[in-house]
Each structure stands twice: as C-alpha cells, then as structure tokens.
C-alpha cells in the first residue's frame, strides 16, 4: 500500500475516534485502539492496555460533552506503522454549561490489528503552550 494511502487510512481512524468521542460512545472509541495501547498525557500516569485506556478515557469523557478535531502537521510511515502528529483543538461543555477549551500537541502511532484494521497503538499528548 502506498504511504499516502496508509496516512489517509490512519487519518480516517482518527476522524472516527473524534466522531465516537463527540457522540459519547466509549465502546466506539475503544474499537479504534489496539489491545496493547500505551498512552501518555501530560500530568497523568502512563496508561497501558485497552482496559486501562477505557478507564482513562471514561475520565476524560466525564468532564463533559466534547467537540474537537485534529490538525496534522506531519505524518510518516514505516511498513504498516503510521505516525501522525499535530495539534488537537476543541472544548468540553460541562453539565452546567461551562466551556473548557483545550489545545494539545499530539503524536499517534497506528498499526494493523489482528482484524486487519489500523488502530491507535501509541498515543501521547500535552498542552500546546
């Protein structure tokens, strides 16, 4: 598969992640991550494995409804691995209507799962300040 096709496929996985997260669909979010995902967020402990990621992401979703998107500043491939990086921007809306904006640098590495789909395998993000 040409690198540009892999990158497009990886970006489609991230768009799917955005849609699931904005719909509050935690199972959908988890469908796009590898069983052995490792995630690192600034100020949070390392997250290892899909069940730990479920707990971590449930905590994020508990903040409130989220709207966001990813702006890519680069991408690279190595075999079936795809690395995407850039900035994600959006906001949480809490139950009392408060808007909490965010802007995070991110780097995501996706690889093929046993089902043949690209899935997020490694993820790191930190405030873009």
The DSSP secondary structure of 16-84, one letter per residue, reads HHHHHHHTT-HHHHHHTEEEEEEEEETTS--EESHHHHHHHHHHHHTT-EEEEEEEEEEEEEETTEEEE
What proportion of the chain, given as a percentage, has pLDDT over 70?
99
d(CA 26, CA 116): 21
Q: List the domains of the chain with CATH numbers.
A: 3-127 (3.10.450.50)
Give residue-wise pLDDT tens across range 31-43.
999 999 999 999 9
Mean pLDDT of the chain: 95
């Amino acid at each position: 598969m040409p690198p540009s096709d892999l990158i497009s496929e990886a970006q489609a996985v991230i768009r799917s992640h955005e849609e699931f997260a904005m719909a509050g669909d935690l199972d959908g979010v988890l469908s796009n991550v590898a069983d052995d995902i490792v995630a690192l967020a600034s100020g949070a402990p390392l997250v290892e494995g899909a069940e730990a990621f479920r707990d971590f992401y449930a905590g994020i979703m508990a903040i409130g409804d989220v709207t966001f998107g990813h702006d890519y500043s680069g991408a690279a491939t190595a075999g079936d691995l795809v690395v995407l990086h850039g900035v994600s921007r959006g906001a949480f809306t809490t139950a009392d209507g408060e808007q909490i904006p965010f802007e995070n640098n991110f780097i995501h590495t996706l690889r093929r799962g046993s089902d043949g789909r690209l899935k997020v395998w490694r993820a790191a993000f930190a405030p873009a300040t």
